[in-house]
Amino acid sequence: MDHHKLVLPEHINDQNSLFGGYLLKWLDEFAYITASIDFPGHRFVTIALENVEFKHQINCGQILCFSVNKNRVGTTSVEYSVNVVGAKTPNESKRVLFATNITFVNITESGQKAPIRQ
């Protein structure tokens, strides 16, 4: 599932590029939305992000496309891959600006792991 976000001046750090915390926040939010749509009625919490490495500068005005794809479904957890590319011009959509895997676990109201119903 694809999600988009516009990088605004309030997202910029003192080096005139996107503050990495915003990218991670959006990634977590969009992956959570995807998991919630894929598995309605479940209570997901984030348990892991793999290999957080910022490879390219992201500037103000950039439109980012977050492509969230299911990798693996376990008994109580689900993993998604997330690729972030620029979306303003066709050339930008070929360069991956950031990529990682994110894992969610399904929990009960009391916080215990619960099986994912397919």
Strands (E), the chain: 2-6, 44-49, 63-73, 77-86, 96-106
With contact defined as beta carbons under 8 Å apart, do 86 and 104 qualify? no
Mean pLDDT of 43-62: 94
Phi-psi region of 82 (alpha: psi -120 to 50; beta: other; left: phi over 0): beta
Average pLDDT for the chain: 94
Q: For 8, which DSSP code?
A: -
Mind listing the domains of the chain with CATH numbers? Answer: 2-106 (3.10.129.10)
Q: pLDDT tens digits, residue range 66-113?
A: 999 999 999 999 999 999 999 887 776 678 999 999 999 999 999 999
What is the pTM (predicted TM-score) of this model?
A: 0.93
